[in-house]
Amino acid sequence: MRSLFSPLHWLVWRDRKRRAENLLRFAEVEADGGRDLVRAAEVTGDPVLRRLFLKHALDEQRHADLFRGRGEALIRALPSGSSGIQANWMAPGERGLDDLQVEAEGDEALLAFLHLSEKAAAKDFTNYVAVLGDDPPTRDVFKKVLHDETFHMTYTRAQLQRVAPQRAGRRVWVARLRRFWKAYLRLAAALAGLVGGVVLTLQYFLILPVFALAARRAAKAEPPGFSSVAPERNGPLTGQY
């Protein structure tokens, strides 16, 4: 089924330079997620989770290599001097652990968070596969990655059910609320940056010219020379002082 946002995804991936930039950015996020999962494997006391986290970490590292390889190939094929705009917020990709403090979270919270993150990535990558028909090598990269993300989404939910059968649903809801909160903070920060830029631009074009005009008028009102007031003499000029 085609997503409601298909035209938007098509727009985001249409430009080859932007496509390459997105892939390189995805590579960084995947590699970052892989490092966090190695850390998660170190801190968990559950041997089954340790093995799964390590496999997961290897998958994310492979995704990073796939995205980087394809991104670099696209950049090499670009005509020199081509330009494009950044539109990162429109192609989020996988968010990894999203600055989650792996050491501070227990296995349950980590699994719930990972499950939602992988689910979102699987959904995004399905949409990207659908709009990349004109670029089979990039589409194939997403297909390969999507296969793994679907496994990650499934195993994290199954393991959450195993380690916390009574609390699994609640854990997922808490993780969902935390994701919403982080998304809100990201949006608020982006809006603050945008509003700050608009205010500074308005100041530059509206307020600064008023001050410049006032300064010009004040300068015109001043008679030429250093000062119109003659210095008072303390006494006759009979001595040096």
Q: Which is nearer to Fe ion, 17 or 179 (CB)?
A: 179
Mapping DSSP to helix (H, G, I), strand (E, B) and coil, where does residue 15 land? Answer: coil
Work out how close the CB of 215 gets to Fe ion at its nearest, in angstroms, rounded to a whole number.
58
Q: Which range binds Fe ion by CB under 5 A, 89-97, 161-169, 183-191, 211-219?
A: 89-97
Q: Sketch the per residue contact string, 175 through 214, with Fe ion: x for CB under 5 A, - otherwise.
A: ----------------------------------------
Sole binder of Fe ion in the list 18, 115, 152, 171 (CB under 5 A): 152
Beta carbons of 88 and 22 less than 8 angstroms apart = yes
Residue 98 makes contact with Fe ion by CB under 5 A:
no
Work out how close the CB of 154 gets to Fe ion at its nearest, in angstroms, rounded to a whole number.
11
Beta carbons of 172 and 160 less than 8 angstroms apart = yes
Q: Which range binds Fe ion by CB under 5 A, 70-78, 88-96, 100-108, 183-191?
A: 88-96
Residue 171 makes contact with Fe ion by CB under 5 A:
no
Q: State how far the Cα of 66 lies from the Cα of 46, in Å rounded to an integer.
A: 30
Work out how close the CB of 69 gets to Fe ion at its nearest, in angstroms, rounded to a whole number.
14
Q: Which is nearer to Fe ion, 158 or 202 (CB)?
A: 158
Beta carbons of 147 and 99 less than 8 angstroms apart = no
Beta carbons of 41 and 50 less than 8 angstroms apart = yes
Q: Which range binds Fe ion by CB under 5 A, 16-24, 76-84, 151-159, 233-241?
A: 151-159
Q: State how far the Cα of 171 lies from the Cα of 190, in Å rounded to an integer.
A: 29
**43: which residues sit within 8 A by CB, 6+ positions away?**
102, 103
Cβ atoms < 10 Å from Cβ of 138: 23
Residue 117's Cβ-count burial label (10 Å; 0-12, 13-18, 19+) is buried
Count of all residues that appear for the chain in the document: 241
Residue 63 makes contact with Fe ion by CB under 5 A:
yes
Sole binder of Fe ion in the list 95, 98, 149, 155 (CB under 5 A): 149
Residues of the shown chain interacting with Fe ion in the complex, contacts defined by CB under 5 A = 30, 60, 63, 94, 118, 149, 152
